[in-house]
Amino acid sequence: MDRILISDLQLRCILGVDADERREKQDVIVNLAIGADLGPAARSDRFADAVDYRALKKRIVALVETSQFHLVEALAEAIAGLCLEHPAVRHVRVRVDKPTALRFARSVGVEITRERAAP
């Protein structure tokens, strides 16, 4: 399966379980590997045959920056679900890192993989 890769999308959102984490938006970094058949667009060289990853990115930004999840896992799941709404997307790997989560660690993150349910 072909993949569209979106790397190091730097966003801000309310994320965490402690009161101090929920006062102000924090940085998160999102990485995506979106599985889709890119052959039709590659053969035709027509935008109409492609997955519009710019539009998908805009939807992800809107979701994340207005979200208020407690868990990084829940944020990653929401992003995966949004990606799978696109009819051409067959599976997605989502990694969400929270750079300020642990003292002495550059980042803490989760990575999930989700597939479109069989018809």
pTM (two decimals): 0.94
Residue 119 in this model has a pLDDT that exceeds 80: no
Opening angle at CA 115, ends 109 and 79, nearest 5: 45
Judged by DSSP in three states, 85 sits in coil
pLDDT digits (tens, 9 = 90+) for 31-87: 999 999 999 999 999 999 999 999 999 999 999 999 999 999 999 999 999 999 999
CATH number of 2-115: 3.30.1130.10
Distances (CA, A) of 51 to 43, 83, 93, 115: 14, 11, 16, 17
Condensed to tens digits (0 to 9), the pLDDT of residues 81-96 reads: 999 999 999 999 999 9
